Amino acid sequence: MTHPRLILVGGFLGAGKTTLLLAAAQRLAAQGLRVGLVTNDQGAGLVDTALVDTHALPVTEVAGGCFCCRFPDLLQALQRLQAAADPEVILAEPVGSCTDLTATVLRPLARDYGHHYTLAPLTILVGADRHLAGFSGSVAYLYERQSAEAELLLLNKCDRLSPAAQATHLQQLARTYPATQVWPISARHGTGLDPWIETVMTQTSSYPLPLTLDYQRYAEAEAQLGWCNVRGVLASPTALPLAEWVEALLYGLAHDLQAGALPVAHLKLHLTGDQHSAKASMTTSHGPISWDLHPQTARASELQFVLNARVAADPQTLERLVRRHLALQSETYAARGQITHLECFRPAPPQPVYRLAG
């Protein structure tokens, strides 16, 4: 069995981690390398896994908690991926509300499984369009601590900034984290990816000293966010426009969240029907929608959907709003809708299996 290189990419919800990993996987596969991916979530039913499946890449997921709290599950996921695809490169994306990855994931892997995996420097992705207005100070603390542990810090979505704004943002990151390599990328457009890929494919993690982290504030940050994962089906006597359905659901839900002063960390929706796929997301309640798969004219009479919502709201409120807008969509399009899986919750306090200080 191959001794694969493991590339871990963290960062806050909506930073563009899945988009980056897909772009990297496609470039590495084009070089003739076997590539696999591991996705991660506090719950089950991931848009990210569905999106990777759409690209016909080997993927497995760790559900029910972050890599650090589900470390045995992470090991099993890696082993499943190796048994199924024997990848030379594994790209792994921890939950977007997770931090302290060096002490709880990389160091344990290096200590006990260093003969199985080559561990790349820890990459943290920062979204250039991320604003934390409305979120608590604990969420801002978590966001900053994620960047603080990066060995490689990528400012993503730079295509949305003017050259002057991009330069200012990069200068701020470089001043705040002077020992960290920082550079701009656009995962969606491929800008700046090659230097990063070369770095993570040729360098190994230095396992820097563990992050100074207040676990109480960390737990408070995760607990502020309501999580909702929904899967379902929709059937209509007439073919439904995929892109229009996606836009109506996301914009309608976001409008009600904004009216309730409930800040959005990430809304993402994956839709399939009649061999067509759509995937779209929002990282604020006022938009815009960002498309990974945009079938502008595609229609289908039977749809399968996966919706993930990460919002500063209590789970009951979030579930009520999600159910309301799914019902409205069924009514608007005279379709029969059925929810096949729904879970809404607040993440439990982080309890890593390991936390290695040295």
Span 8-15, average pLDDT: 96
Confidence of residue 1 (pLDDT cuts 50, 70, 90): low
Identify the pLDDT of residue 163: 93
Assigned CATH for 5-222: 3.40.50.300
What percent of the chain is predicted at pLDDT more than 70?
Answer: 99
Identify the pLDDT of residue 45: 67
Q: Does residue 83 have a pLDDT over 70?
A: yes
Identify the pLDDT of residue 224: 94
Identify the pLDDT of residue 51: 74
Distance CA 146, CA 227 (A): 20
Strands 35-40 and 181-184: unpaired
What CATH number matches the domain at 225-345, 1.10.10, 2.20.25, 3.30.70, 3.40.50? 3.30.70
Answer whether 156's CB lies under 8 Å from 16's CB.
yes
pLDDT digits (tens, 9 = 90+) for 98-119: 999 999 999 999 999 999 999 9
Strands (E), the chain: 5-11, 35-40, 59-62, 89-92, 118-119, 123-127, 152-156, 181-184, 226-241, 264-273, 276-282, 290-293, 299-311, 336-345
Q: What is the largest CA-CA distance in the chain?
A: 62
Location of each CATH 3.40.50.300 domain in the chain: 5-222
DSSP state at residue 64? S
Distance CA 262, CA 218 (A): 20
pLDDT digits (tens, 9 = 90+) for 207-237: 988 899 999 999 999 999 999 999 999 999 9
Span 75-80, average pLDDT: 97
Identify the pLDDT of residue 49: 75
pLDDT digits (tens, 9 = 90+) for 18-59: 999 999 999 999 999 999 999 998 877 677 777 777 778 899
Q: Which two tokens stand for residue 77?
A: 């996921």
Distance CA 319, CA 337 (A): 16
Q: Does residue 259 have a pLDDT over 90?
A: yes
Identify the pLDDT of residue 19: 93
Q: What is the 3-state secondary structure (H, E, C) of 185-223?
A: CECCCCECHHHHHHHHHHCCCCCCCCCCCCHHHHHHHHH
pLDDT digits (tens, 9 = 90+) for 301-352: 999 999 999 999 999 999 999 999 999 999 999 999 999 999 999 999 999 9
Over its C-alpha atoms, the chain yields an Rg (Å, rounded) of: 20
* Strands of the sheet with 276-282, listed across from one edge: 290-293, 276-282, 264-273, 299-311, 226-241, 336-345
Location of each CATH 3.30.70 domain in the chain: 225-345
